[in-house]
Amino acid sequence: MAEGAALPARLDDHAVHERLAVLDEQLARLEVTPGPVGELALVAVSGLAEIYGQALARALDLADPALVSRLLDDELIGHLLALHGIHPESMEVRVGRAIDGLRPALSARGATVELAGISDAVATMRVSVKGCASGSSNIEPVIRDAVLAAVPELTGVTTVPAQRSATPTFVPLDSLMRPTGSQ
């Protein structure tokens, strides 16, 4: 780049999401384009993505731990690392981070969430809501969106109710021994 030349403007997260949506539409159209031109375009896009993935992997290899940590805090970079299969954190760690980010908002709604497990690229979340159980339907999309944003390689997020811990109730033996109708 020539000295004094301005750096290209950085896109904010909203603009990146808009561009990604357009790109997804274009790739979907390309995938159904019949003939050799459509096939060649898909091969070219795939090859370009592979090279960019290799460049990202090399950048990670060269980065010190503090820089890697800062890179992982960036949503777009995290998505790209996951897309290329080179994200240094496990899916479980990233789901945990997403859950931790949700805890204050969920707590304000009387809800808790925890990861029950990941199987076949589907995360199962254990959800507990105080009060009306129908309130969980309002928070499920919030949980799903946050988890899929943090771990885009997941194909789904399901929720199950948290197991209620049965608190034993103390019943004095003498109350069981009274004849019925007596106090």
Q: What is the pLDDT of residues 115-163, one digit of tens each?
A: 999 999 999 999 988 865 555 568 899 999 899 888 988 999 999 988 7
**Domain parsing of the chain, residue ranges:** 13-83, 91-161
d(CA 181, CA 179): 6
pTM for the whole thing?
0.67
User: What are residue 4's phi and psi, to 5 degrees?
Assistant: 85, -10
d(CA 108, CA 121): 30
d(CA 143, CA 140): 5
Give, for all 183 residues of the chain, the pLDDT tens digit. Answer: 556 677 788 888 888 889 888 988 998 898 898 999 989 999 999 999 999 999 999 999 999 999 999 998 888 898 889 888 899 999 999 999 999 999 999 988 889 999 999 999 999 999 988 865 555 568 899 999 899 888 988 999 999 988 765 555 566 666 566 666 555
Domain 91-161 homologous superfamily, CATH: Fe-S cluster assembly (FSCA) (3.30.300.130)
